[in-house]
Structure formats: C-alpha cells, structure tokens
Amino acid sequence: MSKRIEVNDLNVYYTNFLAVEGVSIVIEPRTVTAFIGPSGCGKSTFIRTLNRMHEVIPGARVEGEVLIDGNNLYGPGVDPVLVRRQVGMVFQRPNPFPTMSIQDNVLAGVKLNNRRMSKTDADDLTEKALRGANLWNEVKDRLARPGSGLSGGQQQRLCIARAIAVEPDVILMDEPCSALDPISTLAIEDLIEEMKQEYTIVIVTHNMQQASRVSDRTAFFNIAGTGKPGKLIEYDDTTTIFSNPSVQATEDYVSGRFG
Amino acid sequence: MSSVTEASPLTNSLTAGKLPRRSALWVLLASWAVSAAVFAMLYLSGAVDGFNIVGTVVFGTVLYCVAIYVLSRLVEGSRKAKDRLMTALVTAAFVIALLPLISIIYTTVVNGLPAFLTPTFFTSSQRNVVGAGGGVLHAVIGTLFVTGMATLISVPIGLLASIYLVEYGRGRLAKAITFFVDVMTGIPSIVAGLFAFALFALLFDDPGIRFGFGGAIALSVLMIPVVVRSSEEMLKLVPNELREAAFALGVPKWLTILKVVLPTSMAGIVTGVMLSIARVIGETAPLLIIAGFTASMNYDLFSERMMTLPVFVYTQYANQGADSQAFIDRAWAGALTLILIVMLLNGLARLIAYWFSPKLGR
C-alpha cells in the first residue's frame, strides 16, 4: 500500500520566480513526516509538487525529479491524473462538494470518475472510509444529508474519508488542522496515528506541538528573506529536530525565538 | 424600603432622547394632511381648478423631510436626525424608481384587458380579420418557436464559450473572445436583424427572404454575449478549492468541470439564461426584418413569414384598419401577453434556481 518518496534536487518556479530551491529528501513508507517553517517558505508549494497539484496554478513548473517507488512523477508521458490517484491530498480548509450528500462526498473519487459500483460495494466502501476517518458514528444516520451541514471538524474528517476512499498510497495534508478547534484537532491527530499503519503521510503544520506529537521525521524549511527562494534547512528524526538540532536556525525556530 | 432605593433613580449614561415608536409614520401622515389642507384651501378659494393630488403628495413628502429632521434634531440629536433624513430620501428615491414600472403595468392591464379577455384571443389567428375579434395565437406560437430556437442555439455556444474562458482560456485568444463578447453586448438589435437578413439573402440568393429561423439567428446574436457574460461570472464564483479537491482525487479536468463545477453553479447559470431570454423575447426590429409579419398561423420555422408578439403589437398599432380602436386594443393585449410571458419566465427561473441551489442540511 504505502510507498517510498524520493526527491532529488527539486526547484519549483512560479513563471520565473524561484519559490523553492534544491530540495532533496527521502520519505520512508509507513511514516509521518512533518514539514515546518515560517509562512511563505515554500512548504505548501513543495508538498503540492508531490502529487503535481502545483500545476493547477498557471505558470508553476518544476526542475528535478520526484520518485515514488522509483517512478519519476515528472518523467515524460506521466499522466498527472494517475499520479493523483496514488497520492491523495487533504487541504487547509475543509472543502466537501456542496452539491453532494455525505455518502456521495465519500464516494466522490469513484463517482466523479464515472466508475460503476454496486449498491452494497458502495455502502461498504462508505462505511470503511468513514470508520477510517473516525466519523462513522457521527454521521451513519444521515448519510443522505448534504456534507456542508456538518461542523468544520467533521467536514475535515469527511475530506479525509474522501481521500482514503480512493485508496491512495500516500496522503498529503496541507495544514489540515489550522481551521479547527483543539478537540477536532485531537481527533485528526489520533486518526493520523492510526493511518500510519497503512499509508505514507506527509503533513504541513504551523503547530510545533502537533509536529512533535504526530510525526516520526521532521523537515524544517526557511527563507533568507522576502523574494528569496525557500530551502530545506534540516531533515531529521522529530526527536532530534526538537531536542538537539544541528542547525542554529532550526533551534531558533522550534524554540520560538523567531518565526 | 431602604433609603438607597428611595434616592434619585439611577441614570444610565448610555441613554439618549428618542422619538416615540411610529412617530415617523404619524409625522408623514400629518405632513400629508397639512399639505392636503393647503391644496384644498387653494381649490375652495377658486385659485386653482380641481384638487391637486400629485402636488399634495410631493409637497407633503418634502414637508415630512423637513419636519422629521427638525423634530429628530431637537429630541434625538444631529446624528439621528441625519439618519432619519437619509432614510426618508432613500425611500423616496425607491418609490420614484418604482413609479414608471407600476405605471406601465397599470396602463397595459387597463388597456389590454378588454381584448385580452375575448374568447378567441388565444385560440385563433388574425387570418381574415378586418375589424374587432381574432386572436394572437399565431404570434404567441411564433414568439415561442423563434425564442426557443434562439435559446437552443445560444445556450450551448454561450455556455461552452464561458467554460473555455474560465477553465481553459489563457493569453490572447481568451482576451480576444472577452473583448468581442463585450463588443457584441453593445450591438444594436437592428444590426443583428440586418446581419441575419444579409446572411440568408446571400445564402439562398433571395433578396426578399423571410422566415422564423432567420429571426432565431438574429436573436441568438444578441443572446450569446449575455449568456457568455452571466455564465462566466457564475463559473468564476465556484471556489477553486472544489476544483482542487476533485483534482486531488484523481478526477480528470473535463469530469471535474462536468460533475463539480457545473452542478455547483447550475442555479446561477439557469437564472442567467432565463434573463437572457427575457432580454431578447421583446425584440421587435430584427424580427420585423427577417421574420416578417403575417396574419396566419405558421408552425414551420424554416419557411414563410412568422409572426411574433412584439411585431404583432407594432403592426396592430402601425397598420390600423377601419375600426382603429379594435387594432389598438389588440396591440395593448399583445403587450400584456408579452409581459405575462416574461413574468412567467422570471418566476420559473427563480423556481429552478431554488431547486438547483446547493442545500444546507442542518
């Protein structure tokens, strides 16, 4: 199920502006990797290159390679749609489809791709995904109601259920808890802990405690100043990053002396 | 009772003077009464002929503005007084803006109702009718056919163009399309009629060509830019997050547009289409040129002249027969029918927008 991600010397551009420079990183399967760093340092830009979502923004392009189990995402003839079926993504703000019911939201990855599915299979997949996202007990009696009627935390877990229903190998999370209250945040952190058994998870977060609670490895990104490209400063075990980092900037950031 | 409560009552520093409830209404009625009294005196003294109702209302309203400002300023202070004055002015502006609309509907109903209620009005055409009687069925059918065909042509083209502009269009082509759509919005309708006429006259080598389909083409020239504009705005309103959510699930772009973007914006698009229909259904000039006019039924868009309601109203008024009142009555009744069709379409648009709009289930 889960796969190994290897990034070699990746540069990301917006038209001619170099946003992220020279990132090389290896993410092992069945781990949680946290990206931390000040705003605007390119964490979100970088995480979006891991499933080619940055291409949605006009003018965005990359140099370098991203290998998922040895397959280069940026090789010639690679279909971004196939990439995204293997590398799912959860966004900063919960974004359930407003025209669909809760169940249809969970099955969106199947239904939107025009794949047919029997009623029992659909119900089984819905239950499995919603149980996986820790939401089943809260919504099992109202699967036919619109997804936009749920609370913010429930909507975010619905989005996670939607992402795992297509059974990806890797799940990217771009600040999944930044719009949520502490209790919903805790629910999602527990969920990440469980999902680690099956998926490779990459999470961007501004919350240092969250990074130290959920992640096995942590990558610290930084920029030298406005207009300069973001760089990967340090990448190590989470305990090392938070207790004994090798770079001064990392220590300043995690201890709250700047940023 | 302790001495504390018997002492002077506590004053709240946040209170301010306030006019009693409904005082604005009473002041307004009083102003009108004063104004009416003045005009009644003028009338009774013989200075003017007849009691001037319009003068009473206008003068009374001006008096109200002054009175409420002074009164409120004395009791409530200058901020509240300005607020009351502005409320009066804004409301007056609203009523003035509404007056022509009410006047039009009133006049059309009063003048159109006699012919509108004749039993043959919706069951027969004007064939062989020289005096009173006959009906408008040929024009209703013609309007529905021509406008329906124009909609069939314009909606796919307009919708697809707006999808291109919002989802795919980059660079020069998109800018050029946007520019020409803006230019097309400003085309005078008579030019659209001449365009359709010239096109078909040349195509069929017939300088006297008249048929319903040509009218539909002329109307779609007017309709397409409206559909493109309104659909474009509606598609832009769909949050980018929804598109990204679909992309992240491995959904191809065309399916994302078809199954996420369009359903989300469907209510607005339908409303825009309905408004564009309402915009062209009353066009007279282009239809006069290319669809022509006739007194007979014609169910075939592709041959012979076809009557439409606006042209019917025009010809009834322009070519009055011996019994001219009958023609004028029919003209008003035709106008009333047209207004009712547009109202019906607008009502339908609201219903459809309500059915399609995403529901919040709480």
In a domain, A148, yes or no: no
Q: By C-alpha distance, which of B219, B177, B180 is closest to B196?
A: B219
**pLDDT string in tens for chain A (259-residue length):** 578 899 999 999 998 899 999 999 999 999 999 999 988 888 989 999 998 998 888 888 899 999 998 889 998 889 988 899 899 999 988 999 988 899 999 999 888 888 888 999 999 999 989 988 888 999 999 999 888 888 888 999 899 899 989 888 899 999 888 877 888 888 889 889 888 888 899 999 988 889 999 999 999 999 888 888 999 999 999 999 999 999 998 998 888 876 5
What mean pLDDT do residues B239-264 have? 92
Test the B interface: residue of A55, A78, A97 with most B CBs within 10 Å: A97
Give, to the nearest 10 degrees, the angle between helix B262-281 and helix B212-237. 140
How close does chain B come to A252, measured CA to CA in Å? Answer: 34
* Residue A78 touches partner B, C-beta closer than 8 Å: no
In a domain, A90, yes or no: yes
Q: What is the pLDDT of residue B359?
A: 63
A149 contacts in chain B (CB < 8 Å): 360-362
Query: Alpha helices, DSSP H only, in A23-139?
Result: 43-49, 80-86, 102-106, 108-111, 119-132, 136-139
Q: What is the pLDDT of residue B7?
A: 57
Q: Does pLDDT of B6 surpass 80? A: no
A45 contacts in chain B (CB < 8 Å): none
- Percentage of chain B beyond pLDDT 90 is 65
Q: What is the pLDDT of residue B81?
A: 92
Test the A interface: residue of B166, B170, B237, B251 with most A CBs within 10 Å: B251
Range 202-221 of A in CB contact (< 8 A) with B:
none
* Residue A166 touches partner B, C-beta closer than 8 Å: yes
Q: What is the pLDDT of residue B360?
A: 54
Cβ distance A97 to B239 less than 8 Å, yes or no, reads no
Is 0.90 topped by the overall pTM?
Answer: no
Query: Strand, coil or helix: what is A59?
Result: coil
How close does chain A come to B226, measured CA to CA in Å? Answer: 26
CATH 3.30.460.20 corresponds to the domain B137-356: no
What mean pLDDT do residues B220-230 have? 95
Rounded to the nearest integer, the mean pLDDT of chain B is 90
Q: Residue A72: give its domain's CATH number.
A: 3.40.50.300
B240 contacts in chain A (CB < 8 Å): 56
In a domain, A200, yes or no: yes
Neighbouring residues of B3: CB distance < 8 A, sequence distance ≥ 6: none
How close does chain A come to B235, measured CA to CA in Å? Answer: 15
Distance between CA atoms of residues A78 and B216, nearest Å: 47
Q: How far is CA A142 from CA A136, A138, A150, B158, B319, in A?
A: 10, 9, 10, 39, 66
Confidence of residue B16 (pLDDT cuts 50, 70, 90): confident
Dump pLDDT digits (tens) for B151-197: 999 999 999 999 999 999 888 999 999 999 999 999 999 999 999 99
Cβ distance A56 to B264 less than 8 Å, yes or no, reads no
Q: What is the pLDDT of residue A237?
A: 93
Cβ distance A91 to B247 less than 8 Å, yes or no, reads no
Cβ distance B358 to A148 less than 8 Å, yes or no, reads yes
Confidence of residue B362 (pLDDT cuts 50, 70, 90): very low
* Residue A149 touches partner B, C-beta closer than 8 Å: yes
Chain B nearest-CA residue for A150: B362
* Residue B172 touches partner A, C-beta closer than 8 Å: no
**Ordered DSSP codes for B286-334:** HHHHHT---SS----TTSS----HHHHHHHHHHS--SSHHHHHHHHHHH
Distance between CA atoms of residues B227 and B220, nearest Å: 10
A83 contacts in chain B (CB < 8 Å): 250
Distance between CA atoms of residues B350 and B274, nearest Å: 9
Q: What is the pLDDT of residue A203?
A: 94
Spatial contact of A23 and A7, defined as CB atoms under 8 Å apart: yes
Q: What is the pLDDT of residue A164?
A: 87
Domain around A85:
5-100+171-255
Residue tagged 């065309």 (tokens): B254
How close does chain A come to B264, measured CA to CA in Å? Answer: 6
In a domain, A135, yes or no: no
Q: By C-alpha distance, which of B199, B151, B250 is closest to A84?
A: B250
Chain B nearest-CA residue for A93: B241
Comparing A132-141, B160-169, B223-232, B310-319, the range with the smallest average pLDDT is A132-141
Return the amino acid letter for A97: F
What is the strand order of the sheet A5-14 is part of? A71-72, A60-68, A5-14, A17-27, A230-237, A217-223, A32-36, A200-204, A170-174, A87-90
Q: How far is CA A213 from CA A44, B137, B216, B241, in A?
A: 20, 77, 67, 28
Comparing A177-181, B30-34, B160-164, B300-304, the range with the smallest average pLDDT is A177-181
Q: Does pLDDT of B4 surpass 70? A: no
Neighbouring residues of B48: CB distance < 8 A, sequence distance ≥ 6: B39, B42
Exposure on the CB side of residue B294, measured as CA atoms within 13 A: 21
Cβ distance A109 to B251 less than 8 Å, yes or no, reads yes
Chain A nearest-CA residue for B362: A149
Nearest to A84 among B250, B260, B360 (CB): B250
Chain A nearest-CA residue for B256: A112
* Residue A84 touches partner B, C-beta closer than 8 Å: yes
Q: Which runs of E-coded beta strand occur in chain A? A: 5-14, 17-27, 32-36, 60-68, 71-72, 87-90, 170-174, 200-204, 217-223, 230-237
> How is residue A220 annotated by DSSP?
E
A111 contacts in chain B (CB < 8 Å): 259
Residue tagged 């040929």 (tokens): B138
Distance between CA atoms of residues B334 and B342, nearest Å: 13
Q: What is the pLDDT of residue A258?
A: 66
Cβ distance B359 to A146 less than 8 Å, yes or no, reads yes
Phi, psi of A71 (to 5 degrees): -90, 125
In a domain, A117, yes or no: no
Q: How distant is the alpha carbon of residue A73 from its chain centre?
A: 17
Dump pLDDT digits (tens) for B187-214: 999 999 999 999 999 999 988 899 999 9
Confidence of residue B1 (pLDDT cuts 50, 70, 90): very low
User: So where are chain B's domains?
Assistant: 2-116, 137-356
Q: Does pLDDT of B5 surpass 60? A: no
Which residues face A231 on adjacent strands?
A: A21, A222
Return the amino acid letter for B349: A
- Percentage of chain B beyond pLDDT 70 is 96
Q: How many domains does chain A have?
A: 1
Distance between CA atoms of residues B194 and A104, nearest Å: 51
Nearest to A112 among B255, B361, B362 (CB): B255
* Residue B171 touches partner A, C-beta closer than 8 Å: no
